Amino acid sequence: MPGMKQSAKQIYNWLERRLQVEGPVKDAVLHKVPRNTASWWYVFGSAAFTLLMLQIVTGILLALVYVPSGAEAWNSLNILNHQVPLGWFLRAVHAWGSNFMVAVVFIHMAQVFLFGAYKFPRELTWTVGVFLLLMTLGMAFTGQVLRFDQDAYWGLGIGVFILSRVPIAGGSLVHLLLGGPTIAGATLSRCFALHVFVIPGTLLVLVAMHVWMVLKLGINEWPMPGRLVRKETYIEEYNKLAHEDGIPFVPGAFWKDLVFSAAVLAAVGVCAAVFGPSGPSGQPDPSITQTVPKPDFPFLWIYAVLSYLPPSMETPFILIAPILMIAGLLAVPFVASEGEKSWHRRPVAVLALSMVAVSWAVFTHLAMSTPWSPHMSAWSGDTLPVKYLREATPLVRQGAVIFQAKQCRNCHSIGGHGGERGPALDAVATRMTPDQMRYKVVTGGGNMPAYGKNLAPAEIEALVSFLETLHPKNEPPAFDPSQQANAATASTGGSGRP
């Protein structure tokens, strides 16, 4: 239909005459980039942007129903989950979009670091990127608060206890975070303002700066070993590379961005459909103590680190480590703004990145199973394997009951069930003599509370006689050599050895 095409062209011209964006857009779209940058390694930045757009759209859609009030937020989420058609799916897409965004932002940062893309003249692009990362994490934390369930409540509590450690200003900072003396409606309202206005607004401004600099300074060329960055010559070399061996950004490199973004969106959709929305868990009633709060995925590693710090290190570490981490990230492009970009010749960078990645993975994995936490219902819920009680004497059975009733099981597993805070006790008799067990039970020590006050002597005897039976059939229990020698001496009438 040539008539329609003609009028479309006319409308376009009318708009373009007034907007005048064709020129800048063409410049941005068709600018030459080095041929090697049209790579699958260069797709994470655009994917993070796509996810940000997804979060904005789904966030607005959720705001149509969500009530940012301390009294109503939790209820409105349950209505979204169970009554609004596909409300659960929107919540799931927003939650999974958040997980993916945090992950993609971290991957993008790791790739940029590994490819030396932060070096001259792209130092400020990296700096802005660090703040984008912090904003993304800020969105993740405030978003978790908006869920306003028990995890949100006690997650905020952890925030309070971290802030309260700041010298002098701690109390004021806590009041500012909470909007009052306790976690309450005012806290939710301010987290809503942060999550919906302040942080997204900042994110968009920073993203605009970030993308602007990528366009102005060009996409980082593929690092080649031996091609060093020098401030005097770099710009000239880059321009030469982009023009002599370059291709237009669209379509040369952009099609891969499009494909990857679509793949990421599809992954978010599939995860949302299969795994569903996250929470809300129990209602935010702080008088309910039957809860095991846990932070969202991006903060699990912090949760794990906090459980392994020795008491004397808590406050210094909590206050100093985040500052050092952020300062370290910000310092990267200024410490190494010139020189080698290729990972083949940057062993320290590769090692540092691997170490961070491995530590992060280990801590996150640990936080999923929380081996440091007592299993609160193990004492009343976990069964004792029958084999440990078969042919047991009444005293041993009595000891087994005490073992359960006194919550020993909350920290010590038997038969693979129970807490992991203390060692598993399936073979404890091979490691400790009855005397050592008695001493340990009474006085505690290390990470074990002392039970001397809470157990009668008869109960301790019963408990120890149960523990004494816990050894494999073919492995004898531990014994005290000196006592055995004494016994041997007594039985042979003191004749001793020949």
Partner 1 sequence: MSDSPKKQSTGPDIHTASEQASDREGPAVVSRRWLLLKAGVALNGLVGLALAVPIVRYLLAPVRKDESYKSWISLGAADSFPVGETRLVSFKNPWTQPWDGETDNVAAYVRKEGASQFTVFAINCAHLGCPVRWFPQSQLFMCPCHGGVYYADGSRASGPPERGLFTYEYKIIGGQLQINAGQMPSLSNTAKLVNIATPAKDGDCPCRG
Contact positions with partner 1 (CB under 8 A) in 396-415: 405-408, 410-411
**3 state DSSP class of 164:** coil
Least separation in angstroms between residue 67's CB and partner 1 is: 10
Checking DSSP bridges between strand 246-248 and strand 32-34, what pairing results, if any? antiparallel
**Residue 445 found at the interface with partner 1 (CB under 8 A):** yes
**3 state DSSP class of 476:** coil
Q: Per-residue DSSP letters for 290-338?
A: -------GGGHHHHHHHHHS-GGGHHHHHHHHHHHHHHHHHHHHHHSSS
Among 283, 369, 430, 484, binds partner 1 (CB under 8 A): 283
**Residue 482 found at the interface with partner 1 (CB under 8 A):** no
x/- string (CB under 8 A) for partner 1, residues 122-161?
A: -------------------------------xx--xx-xx
Which residues on neighbouring strands pair with residue 417, listed in sequence order? 414
Least separation in angstroms between residue 312's CB and partner 1 is: 5
Helices (H) and strands (E) in the chain, counts: 23, 2
**Residue 453 found at the interface with partner 1 (CB under 8 A):** yes
Are the C-beta atoms of 364 and 301 separated by less than 8 Å?
A: yes
**3 state DSSP class of 416:** coil
x/- string (CB under 8 A) for partner 1, residues 15-34?
A: -xx--x-xx-----------
Contact positions with partner 1 (CB under 8 A) in 168-197: 170-176, 178-187
CA 110, distance to chain mean position in Å, is: 16
Contact positions with partner 1 (CB under 8 A) in 52-111: 69-74
Which residues on neighbouring strands pair with residue 34, listed in sequence order? 246
**3 state DSSP class of 32:** strand
Residue whose tokens read 């206890």: 161
**Residue 286 found at the interface with partner 1 (CB under 8 A):** yes
Q: Cβ closer to partner 1: 181 or 498?
A: 181
Residues 6+ apart with CB under 8 A from 305: 363
**Residue 492 found at the interface with partner 1 (CB under 8 A):** no
Least separation in angstroms between residue 291's CB and partner 1 is: 6
Q: Cβ closer to partner 1: 87 or 159?
A: 159
Least separation in angstroms between residue 183's CB and partner 1 is: 6
- What angle in degrees, to the nearest 10, is found between the helix axes of 254-275 and 87-114? 140
**Residue 270 found at the interface with partner 1 (CB under 8 A):** no
**Residue 39 found at the interface with partner 1 (CB under 8 A):** no
Residues 6+ apart with CB under 8 A from 216: none
**Residue 234 found at the interface with partner 1 (CB under 8 A):** no
**Residue 320 found at the interface with partner 1 (CB under 8 A):** no
**Residue 316 found at the interface with partner 1 (CB under 8 A):** no
Tell me the site size for partner 1, rule CB under 8 A.
Answer: 89
